[in-house]
Chains A and B, each alone.
Chain A
Amino acid sequence: DSGVTQTPKHLITATGQRVTLRCSPRSGDLSVYWYQQSLDQGLQFLIHYYNGEERAKGNILERFSAQQFPDLHSELNLSSLELGDSALYFCASSPTLSVGYTFGSGTRLTVV
């Protein structure tokens, strides 16, 4: 157990739907990062939050949004889902910036 908890582990949903992925960082970690891993794109950075504030955005679609709550857990919202959104979504946390990222076990999203 890495200490980073992601739920749910698996999600199957239909095109056009909306889902929410949840991440609880390791105790004491202030930074949360979201990554998408698809077969053809590798591991792609989506967004970074630090202590509740957005720090950086990567190639995140406008249909996707995220937030980090006061208790430091984070949610990634994916809407108007398309077949191409099927992927593994990872959350990672680190205590500060740029140091020692730990990944959760991921959420496998299948859009049918």
Chain B
Amino acid sequence: GIQVEQSPPDLILQEGANSTLRCNFSDSVNNLQWFHQNPWGQLINLFYIPSGTKQNGRLSATTVATERYSLLYISSSQTTDSGVYFCAVVAQGGSEKLVFGKGTKLTVNP
């Protein structure tokens, strides 16, 4: 099945810093989503982005489908950005399930 690799696995930032999270996937996809899991366990949908670029406030994401990667940018990070960021994909021609990467654990210190 499709493989999803996220990097880095852990990231520690000072408040106000910028960061880039990467997601590589091994096959063509119909769907790619970025999620933020907050410290209470909730999975918050950040972007639905199978291709192209989207922005939402301090967050933006770019997916280059032909090269099988996606990037999530966080600017001017805040302590509330802490948590785990997951990339998840649906493979083309496969079942419709989302396959998750192992996540990037982000800690933003005040």
A98-B30 in contact given A48-B97, A56-B96, A92-B98 (Cβ < 8 Å): yes
**Closest B residue to A90 using CB positions:** B43
**Measured between alpha carbons, how far is A109 from B78 in the docked complex, in Å?**
31
Interface of B is mostly: strand
Stretch in B11-19, B55-63, B66-74, B99-107 touching the partner: B99-107
Residues of A within 8 A of B99 (CB): 45
**Beta-carbon contact of B45 and A88 below 8 Å:** no
Cβ 8 A contact of B98, one of A2, A33, A42, A88: A33
For residue A13, CB closer than 8 A to chain B, the reply is: no
How many interface residues does B have (CB within 8 Å)?
A: 21
The total of interchain contacts (Cβ-Cβ below 8 angstroms) comes to: 55
Of A64-72, A75-83, A100-108, the one with at least 4 CB within 8 A of chain B: A100-108
Q: Is the CB of A33 within 8 A of B48?
A: no
Q: How far is the CB of B47 from chain A (nearest CB, A)?
A: 10
Interface size on A, residues (CB 8 A): 25
A4 to B: closest C-beta gap in Å: 10
> Which residue of B is nearest A58, CB measured?
B97
Q: Check B97–A106 contact: CB distance below 8 A.
A: no
Given the contacts A58-B97, A98-B90, A42 and B102 also touching, CB distance less than 8 Å: yes
Q: Would you list 15 pairs from A and B whose C-beta atoms are within 8 A, ordered by A residue?
A: A2-B44, A33-B97, A35-B98, A42-B100, A42-B103, A43-B88, A48-B96, A56-B96, A90-B43, A98-B96, A99-B48, A100-B31, A102-B45, A105-B41, A106-B41
